[in-house]
Amino acid sequence: MIGIILGTRPEIIKMSPVIRECERKGLDYFILHTGQHYSYEMDRNFFEELELPEPHFNLDVGSASHADQTCRIMTGIEKILIDEQPDTVLVQGDTNTVLAGALAASKLNIRVGHVEAGLRSFDRTMPEEINRVVTDHISDYLFAPTETARQYLLNEGIEERKICLTGNTIVDAILQNQKISQTRSKVLDDIGVKPKEFFLATSHRQENVDSYEKLRNIINAFENIHNELSFPVIFPMHPRTQKMIQQFKMSLEGTIVMPPVGFLDFLQLESKARLVLTDSGGVQEESCILGVPCVTLRENTERPETIRVGANMLAGTDRDKILSSSREMISRTATWSNPYGDGRAGKTIITLCNGLPPRNANH
C-alpha cells in the first residue's frame, strides 16, 4: 500500500500525476490531506477540476507557527499510518507537511519516497530549505527532478542507490491539463484581457509579504511596470498577502486583484501572460515549461535550471531591479528547452515504488 501525503494546493497539482497512475494501475493507496494552508473544503475544487478522488483522510490542521503546525501534522499522520500500515509514504516538495510526513513515517519504519528531492536554495533562513534538507536525509528513495538536483544530493553524501532521476511531475500535470483548461477556462474573458496583453503576478512568501518595505517595493514595482509597459498586472492574491496589504494600508494602481484561482484558470493565465512575476518556486517551473518569461521576486532560487536556460531572472524585491529585469525578460524570445523532463515522472515514480522491497529489508 502507498500513502500519499499532501497539504497545499501546489502539492495537490504535483501529486496529481502520481495519484492518476495509482488509479490507472488499480493500486492499493490512500490520500491524506493535512489541510496545512486551507481546509479540504477550500481545496475541494482542486480535486474536482483535476478529476482526482477525494482524500481518504483530512486533518484540517490549519495555520500555526512552524513548530506547532509541524507537531499537529505529525501527530495526526502518525495515528493514520499506525492504522493503515502502508509499505511506502510519498511526500512532495518542501512544506511542513512534507517534513512531518517524512518524520512520522520514518520513525514508524515505513519507507519514505521524496518526490522533487534535491532542490536547494542554499539559504537556511528559508523554512522550506530546512524542510527539504531534513526530508532528503531521512528518505529512503529520492526522486530527483533534474540532474542538478541529483548532483546536490550526491554532494551531501546521500547514497547513489537511493536517488532516482525522474523528471518533474509538474510537466505531467501541465501536459495532462492544458487542453482541458483551454476548453473549460474562460478566465481571460471574465477579466477582460487579451492573450499576451497582461502580466501575471503572484507573491505569498512570508519573507516578502510580512515585510512592509519589501511588500511596498513589490507593489510599487507592479505599478511602474504597468505605467511603463502599458499592460495591466493580474494579481491572484494569496490570503496572507491580502491580509498584510490591508494591515499596511497599501493601495494598488494598475493592478487587477482577484482571489486565488483553480489550476485550470491559472494555467490559462500563465500560458497567455506576456510575463510572469512571482516568488513561487512552482510558478517559476510552470512558466519555463509553458515558454513564458519569468522574473523572480527573490534573491535566490532552488530552480536554477530556469535561469540557466534563459527563462527566468532573479530580481529580489528592489523596485528598480524588478522593472529592469522585466524589461530584459520581455525582450527575450522563448526558445529555451524545458529542463524538467518528458511528462512521464508520475509513471516512473509509481513503477519504482511498486518494485521496492519493504523498508526493513533494506536495513
CATH number, position 44: 3.40.50.2000
Backbone angles phi, psi at 288, to 5 degrees: -60, -45
Helix, strand or coil for residue 236?
strand
Q: What is the pLDDT of residue 363?
A: 42
Q: Are 91 and 349 in contact (CB under 8 A)?
A: no
**234 assigned to some structural domain:** yes
Q: Give the number of domains in the chain.
A: 2
Q: Kindly state whether residue 64 falls inside one of the protein's structural domains.
A: yes
Confidence of residue 357 (pLDDT cuts 50, 70, 90): low
**Same-domain check for residues 149 and 186:** no
For residues 315 and 243, state if they share a domain.
yes
Residues 249 and 326 in one domain: yes
277 within domain boundaries: yes
Clarify whether residues 121 and 219 are in a common domain.
no
| 93 and 142 both lie in a single domain | yes
pTM of whole model > 0.85?
yes
**Same-domain pairing of 8 and 126:** yes
In this structure, the answer to whether residues 209 and 303 fall within a common structural domain is: yes
Residues labelled as active-site residues: 204
- The backbone torsions φ and ψ at residue 89, rounded to the nearest 5 degrees and listed phi first, read -115, 130
- On whether both 6 and 51 belong to a single domain, the answer is yes
19 with 52, same domain: the answer is yes
Q: Tens digit of pLDDT for each residue in 190-226?
A: 999 999 999 999 999 989 999 999 999 999 999 999 9
**323 and 220, same domain (yes or no):** yes
Asked if 263 contacts 284 with a C-beta cutoff of 8 angstroms, the reply is no
Residue 337 lies in a domain: no
Please give the single-letter amino acid code of residue 291: G
* SS3 call for 189: helix
**Domain assignment of residue 335, yes or no:** no
Q: Which residues neighbour 237 within 8 Å (Cβ) at sequence distance 6 or greater?
A: 245, 257, 258, 259, 260
Query: Is 336 among the domain residues?
Result: no
Q: Domain span at residue 140?
A: 2-168+342-361
Give a yes or no: residue 15 inside a domain: yes
**192 and 51, same domain (yes or no):** no
Of 62-76, 164-178, 179-193, 348-362, the poorest mean pLDDT is in 348-362
User: Are 227 and 251 contained in the same domain?
Assistant: yes
